């Protein structure tokens, strides 16, 4: 990484370039990012690459409108040109203005924060990364019937200096790590796949190489491969209405799609109507809407105390400190994720600090930080008691543009009878409506089963920004859920 | 093709030469350098006002070395000599950390690349004020109809070059403009989108009028039971759904047995009225005429009268198979190998209006949303209708209907295509732009109702 003083100097230079142009407000984010990706497929190194990027994004508020310009031309001339363009864009927006942008009040801060990282992943040798992955890959390939094996690691570091005209200057360095394995099996007329510890490349957290070691990929490789092959001879998941138990990783995505996204206030106010969609929620639902059963408590928590999630930080990309906000308390909807602009527009007071940008080149948007279902009071045995279908590891996901009707597919399921797994089921799918589904939650496993999962690929905005989010969950049970609609009536 | 001011050819050669020099002390002489640059801007609006408006300017240089049957790539946006040297040294170190790959091809050799002029100067020069005026005009259309508009108007210019030590120098510059609008009218919405290399081809007001009509017609939607219906899919719906097929038309996907074409290539899989090419040279297509290694793209027939006949093949797959690459390889090292990205359907002769007039009872679909793969071999996809879904009765649009979730096999669906319109460039939200027709499809499977 570059010398911190250089990054800070350029950030302040960019802020000055904007401020000199007579804006009402400006903030800049100078970001230096670095990534390494290593992957293997079918016993060979498939990808070994490294990437770095350095640039600055300048956001201004002028005449009641936003303007933003980003550049990686970091000469004085390049920065001046970007600042001038940002102001020009803000002025141009006056052509279609029907309200002034007003920002909720926020203090100014000077801070330096570094995310905890016990073992710097960038200090590990690529040879060591490959050796770990190839060892797991070899274990999977030992299983007869496996036709594709995949194993990967991703490391990312982002060093950012945020500076704003009210006087904040905040420096943050975040290191994230992800790793996982997957085995696929083609046989007859189907392709089956199993992944560990999750699909989408595995588990991701705001940690260092210690995460890779804890995952013990090699130890899980044989089971993953055996299950992928065994799925071919498993019975199809039945079509009907059942009690449904979801593992924590699938529940994390369920939370993401059906609680996280609708709770973004910019969606509820219409900002994403053309692309990512709206929300069925409105500010009038706060404190009134029975979103879920009484045992459901969901928070949006960016603080390190919540855990090292992909949504953990000290300050958001508007310079607002990390906070914990209750979204659902005892089943009642009670909070949106907000920005300084949307909090003011909806009369909700201070921003709760959820604005994040994918890179230096993009504006911050309201993004889920760590949106987590708090652990329940049931034991795992209580969650699994009686009859149910238990599904594990996401395979497909889809929800309508107001976040009401969803359908998820998982890699594998088991029929549960009297609390025990009695048979493996393939191609499991469930679907439902957000409010009905969350109100059917009847058991949530306790703290000892709670994991903060990372979803690395959340898309939103135009131009689209892909960002990582965190979701804590433990296995939970839902009563009377529709299962199997996608595979029913498959004629033609 | 001329050169982009953002990426002068001379600069490309300088960066390549500097990278090659940096590799020499380590005894590495096979070097490939890819350079990208873009200047893009987007004016976004919602609730009849501009709420986000952005511009970004990017450079990147990606250095790949090949040494002792090993390769690695390092990418940076710092183009100074010191940063390039660091990138090259890191690439060599990462390459040497790997075992040899017997299937790794040597760097590509030079081959003639057909010229494609896809640069429109006025698009590249579009100012924030011009975009804002276009948006204001669109908003005025919606406001006059008592409706609320949201959308995005973007313009960009981009250039890329691939230079390697075997003599490849592939260079491309292009522009792209897009206008997308969603209009809301109480409990309904309408949508329209267009893209072109020339901003002058876009008519924000006309697109907004189209979206306004759909939104107005969409009020008070009727609730129909899920089930199998005849559907008329507008081009954007065809694009976003069928676009999920083409990643499987890959030699590497076949080799890894993850493609739905595994054990099916050469068999009659779709209806005889389905013929699809990959053709970067089609006049409505966009993008460079070479692949991620600088190999010229060939025109491929992917599906001929219902039979999948060809797949894309990068140089790595070609080397394994002892055949020629098709010019669709992704930059190496590539996990998934190759992919066709310039899809052109053979259209038909039935206009959308004629399809509607010929339909006794069916559903007209404007666009689809959140499409995901449910089953990778049967290509069952799920997703939802959005922003304009209507019941057709006795040859006329009768009323709006509540949106549906579908679960449908694309293979099955492309066996039940009753009519196709002429193919046109279409733009959606789930896949890249393609040249596609509208389609009338029998027995399309809606499984549940969307929304409340």
Contact B50/A39, CB-based, under 8 Å?
Answer: no
Half-sphere exposure of A381 (CA within 13 A, CB side): 0
User: Cα torsion for A94, A97, A99, A105, to the nearest 10°?
Assistant: -50
What average pLDDT does chain A have? 96
Largest CA distance in chain B: 77
Nearest-5° Cα angle at B16, B14 to B21: 95
pLDDT at residue number A443: 98
pLDDT-based confidence at A3, cuts 50/70/90?
Answer: low
β-pairing, A476-483 with A203-205? unpaired
Residues of B in contact with A194 (CB under 8 A): none
Whether the Cβ atoms of residue A204 and residue A121 lie closer than 8 Å to each other: no
Q: Describe the crossing of helices A126-141 and A217-230 by its angle, rounded to 10 degrees.
A: 30
Q: Which residues contact B125 (CB under 8 A, 6 or more apart)?
A: none
pTM over 0.90: yes
Contact B97/A488, CB-based, under 8 Å?
Answer: no
Does the pLDDT of residue B20 top 80, yes or no?
yes
Contact B448/A49, CB-based, under 8 Å?
Answer: no
CB-nearest to A402 from B95, B191, B451 is B451
- Residue of A45, A67, A79, A185 to mutate, testing the B interface (most B Cβ within 10 Å of its Cβ): A45
Average pLDDT over residues A161-181: 98
pLDDT at residue number B187: 87
Does the pLDDT of residue A490 top 60, yes or no?
no
**Distance spanning both ends of chain A, measured CA to CA:** 57
pLDDT at residue number A339: 98
CB-nearest to A89 from B128, B154, B369 is B128
Residues of B in contact with A402 (CB under 8 A): 451
What is the spatial order of strands in the sheet that A332-333 belongs to? A332-333, A324-329, A298-301, A371-373
**What ranges in A161-276 are assigned the alpha helix state H?**
210-215, 217-230, 248-255, 265-268
Measured CA to CA, the distance from residue B446 to residue B452 in angstroms comes to: 16
Q: Which of A306-310, A486-490, B240-244, B439-443 has the lowest mean pLDDT?
A: A486-490
Q: How far is A327 from chain B (nearest CA, A)?
A: 21
Q: How far is B100 from chain A (nearest CA, A)?
A: 9
pLDDT at residue number A491: 43
Whether the Cβ atoms of residue A405 and residue A368 lie closer than 8 Å to each other: no
pLDDT at residue number A5: 78
Measured CA to CA, the distance from residue B280 to residue B113 in angstroms comes to: 12
pLDDT at residue number B6: 87
Per DSSP, the residues of B206-250 read HHHHHHHHHHHHTSS-B-PPPEEEEEEE-HHHHHHHHTTSGGGSB
- The single residue listed with the structure tokens 């250089």 is A6
- Residue of A31, A48, A53 to mutate, testing the B interface (most B Cβ within 10 Å of its Cβ): A48
Q: Which residue of B has its CA nearest to A85?
A: B55
What average pLDDT does chain B have? 97
Instruction: Tell me the three state secondary structure of residue B63.
Output: strand
Average pLDDT over residues B403-416: 98
Half-sphere exposure of B434 (CA within 13 A, CB side): 30
List A35's β-bridge partners, or say none: A51, A156
pLDDT at residue number A27: 98
What is the spatial order of strands in the sheet that B300-304 belongs to? B307-308, B300-304, B276-278, B343-345, B434-436, B424-426
Helix (H) or strand (E) holding B93: helix B81-96
Whether the Cβ atoms of residue A261 and residue A275 lie closer than 8 Å to each other: no
Q: How far is B202 from chain A (nearest CA, A)?
A: 17
Contact A95/B377, CB-based, under 8 Å?
Answer: no
Does the pLDDT of residue B354 top 80, yes or no?
yes
Q: Which residue of B has its CA nearest to A50?
A: B74
Q: Which residue of B has its CA nearest to A51?
A: B75
Measured CA to CA, the distance from residue B281 to residue B285 in angstroms comes to: 7
pLDDT-based confidence at B5, cuts 50/70/90?
Answer: confident
CB-nearest to B376 from A99, A125, A191 is A191
pLDDT-based confidence at B4, cuts 50/70/90?
Answer: confident
CB-nearest to A72 from B57, B386, B443 is B57
Q: How far is A277 from chain B (nearest CA, A)?
A: 10
Contact B447/A486, CB-based, under 8 Å?
Answer: yes
Q: How far is A115 from chain B (nearest CA, A)?
A: 24
Whether the Cβ atoms of residue A60 and residue A25 lie closer than 8 Å to each other: yes
Average pLDDT over residues B428-439: 96
> pLDDT tens digit string along A361-413?
999 999 999 999 999 999 999 999 999 999 999 999 999 999 999 999 999 99
Which stretches of A362-440 are assigned E, i.e. beta strand?
365-366, 371-373, 388-399, 405-417, 420-426, 429-433
Helix (H) or strand (E) holding B318: helix B315-321
pLDDT at residue number A418: 98
Q: Which residue of A has its CA nearest to B451?
A: A404
Q: How far is B39 from chain A (nearest CA, A)?
A: 9
User: Shortest CA distance to B58 belongs to which of A360, A460, A77, A461?
Assistant: A360
User: Shortest CA distance to A394 belongs to which of A218, A209, A201?
Assistant: A201
> pLDDT tens digit string along A224-267?
999 999 999 999 999 999 999 999 999 999 999 999 999 999 99
Residues of A in contact with B180 (CB under 8 A): 274-275, 462
Q: How far is B114 from chain A (nearest CA, A)?
A: 30
């Amino acid at each position: 990484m570059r010398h911190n003083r250089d990054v800070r100097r350029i950030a302040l230079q960019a802020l000055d370039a904007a401020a000199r142009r007579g804006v009402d407000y400006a903030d800049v984010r100078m970001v230096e990012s670095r990534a390494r990706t290593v992957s293997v497929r079918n016993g060979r190194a498939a990808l070994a690459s490294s990437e770095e990027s350095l640039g600055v994004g300048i956001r201004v508020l002028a005449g009641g409108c936003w303007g933003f310009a980003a550049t990686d031309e970091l000469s004085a001339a390049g920065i001046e040109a970007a600042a001038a363009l940002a102001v020009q864009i803000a002025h141009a927006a006056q052509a279609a203005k029907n309200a002034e942008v007003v920002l909720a009040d926020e203090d100014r801060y000077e801070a330096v924060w570094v995310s905890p990282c016990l073992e710097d992943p960038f200090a590990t040798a690529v040879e060591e990364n490959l050796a770990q992955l190839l060892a797991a890959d070899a274990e999977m390939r030992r299983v007869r019937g496996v036709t594709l094996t995949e194993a990967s690691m991703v490391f990312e570091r982002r060093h950012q200096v945020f500076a704003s005209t009210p006087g904040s200057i905040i420096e943050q360095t975040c290191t994230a790590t992800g790793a996982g394995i997957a085995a696929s099996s083609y046989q007859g007329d189907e392709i089956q796949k199993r992944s560990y510890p999750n699909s989408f490349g595995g588990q991701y957290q705001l940690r260092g190489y210690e995460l890779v070691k804890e995952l013990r990929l090699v130890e899980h490789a044989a089971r993953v491969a055996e299950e992928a092959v065994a799925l071919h001879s498993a019975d199809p998941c039945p079509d009907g209405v059942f009690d449904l138990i979801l593992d924590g990783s699938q529940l994390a995505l369920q939370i993401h799609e059906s609680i996280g996204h609708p709770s973004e206030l910019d969606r509820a106010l219409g900002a994403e109507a053309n692309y990512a969609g709206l929300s069925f929620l409105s500010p009038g639902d706060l404190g009134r809407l029975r979103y879920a059963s009484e045992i459901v408590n969901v928070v949006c928590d960016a603080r390190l105390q919540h855990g090292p999630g992909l949504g953990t930080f000290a300050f958001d990309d508007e310079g607002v400190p990390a906070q914990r906000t209750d979204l659902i308390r005892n089943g009642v909807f009670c909070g949106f994720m907000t920005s300084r602009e949307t909090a003011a527009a909806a009369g909700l007071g201070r921003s709760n600090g959820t604005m994040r940008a994918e890179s230096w080149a993009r504006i911050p948007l309201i993004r889920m930080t760590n949106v987590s279902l708090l652990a329940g009071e049931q034991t795992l045995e209580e969650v699994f008691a009686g009859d149910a279908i238990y599904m594990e590891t996401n395979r497909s996901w889809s929800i309508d543009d107001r976040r009401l009707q969803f359908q998820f597919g998982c890699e594998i399921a088991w029929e549960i009878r009297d609390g025990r797994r009695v048979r493996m089921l393939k191609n499991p799918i469930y679907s439902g409506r957000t409010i009905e589904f969350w109100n059917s939650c009847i058991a949530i496993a306790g703290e000892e089963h709670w994991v903060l999962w990372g979803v690395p690929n959340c898309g939103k905005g135009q131009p689209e920004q892909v960002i990582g989010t965190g979701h804590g969950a433990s296995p939970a049970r839902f009563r009377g859920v529709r299962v199997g609609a996608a595979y029913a009536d498959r004629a033609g | 093709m001329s050169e982009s001011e953002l990426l002068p050819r001379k600069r490309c050669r300088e960066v390549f030469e500097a990278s090659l020099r940096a590799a020499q002390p380590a005894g590495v002489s096979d070097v490939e350098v890819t350079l990208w640059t873009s200047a893009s801007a987007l004016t976004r609006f919602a609730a009849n006002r501009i709420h986000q408006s952005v511009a970004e300017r990017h450079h990147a240089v990606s250095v790949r070395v090949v040494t002792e049957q090993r390769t690695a790539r390092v990418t940076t946006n710092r183009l100074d000599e010191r940063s390039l040297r660091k990138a090259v040294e890191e690439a060599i170190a990462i390459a040497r950390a790997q075992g040899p790959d017997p299937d790794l091809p040597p760097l590509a050799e030079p081959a003639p690349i057909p010229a494609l002029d896809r640069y429109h100067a006025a698009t590249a020069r579009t100012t924030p004020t011009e975009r804002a005026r276009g948006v204001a005009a669109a908003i005025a259309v919606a406001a006059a109809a008592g409706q609320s508009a949201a959308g995005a108007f973007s313009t960009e210019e981009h250039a890329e070059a691939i230079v390697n030590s075997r003599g490849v120098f592939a260079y491309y510059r292009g522009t792209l403009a897009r206008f997308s609008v969603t209009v809301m009218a109480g409990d309904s919405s309408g949508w329209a989108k267009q893209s072109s290399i020339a901003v002058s081809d876009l008519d924000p007001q006309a697109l907004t009028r189209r979206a306004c009509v759909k939104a107005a017609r969409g009020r008070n939607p009727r609730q129909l039971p899920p089930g199998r219906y005849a559907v008329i899919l507008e081009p954007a719906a065809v694009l976003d759904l069928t676009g999920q097929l083409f990643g499987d038309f890959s030699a590497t996907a076949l080799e890894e047995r993850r493609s739905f074409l595994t054990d099916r290539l050469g068999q009659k899989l779709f209806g005889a009225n389905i013929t699809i090419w990959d053709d970067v040279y089609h006049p409505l297509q966009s993008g460079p005429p070479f692949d991620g290694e600088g190999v010229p793209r060939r025109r491929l027939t992917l599906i001929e009268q219902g039979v999948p006949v060809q797949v894309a093949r990068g140089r790595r797959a070609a080397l394994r198979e002892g055949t020629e690459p098709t010019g669709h390889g992704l930059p190496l090292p590539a996990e998934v190998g190759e992919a066709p990205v310039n899809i052109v359907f053979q259209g038909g002769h039935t206009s959308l209006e004629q399809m509607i007039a010929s339909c006794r009872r069916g559903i007209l679909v404007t666009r689809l949303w959140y499409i995901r793969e449910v089953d990778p071999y049967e290509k069952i996809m799920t997703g939802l209708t959005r922003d304009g879904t209507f019941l057709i009765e006795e040859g006329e649009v009768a009323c709006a209907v509540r949106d549906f979730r579908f679960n449908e096999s694309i293979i099955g669906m492309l066996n039940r295509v009753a009519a196709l319109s002429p193919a046109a460039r279409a733009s959606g939200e789930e896949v890249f732009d393609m040249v596609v027709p509208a389609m009338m499809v029998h027995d399309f499977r809606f499984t549940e109702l969307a929304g409340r």
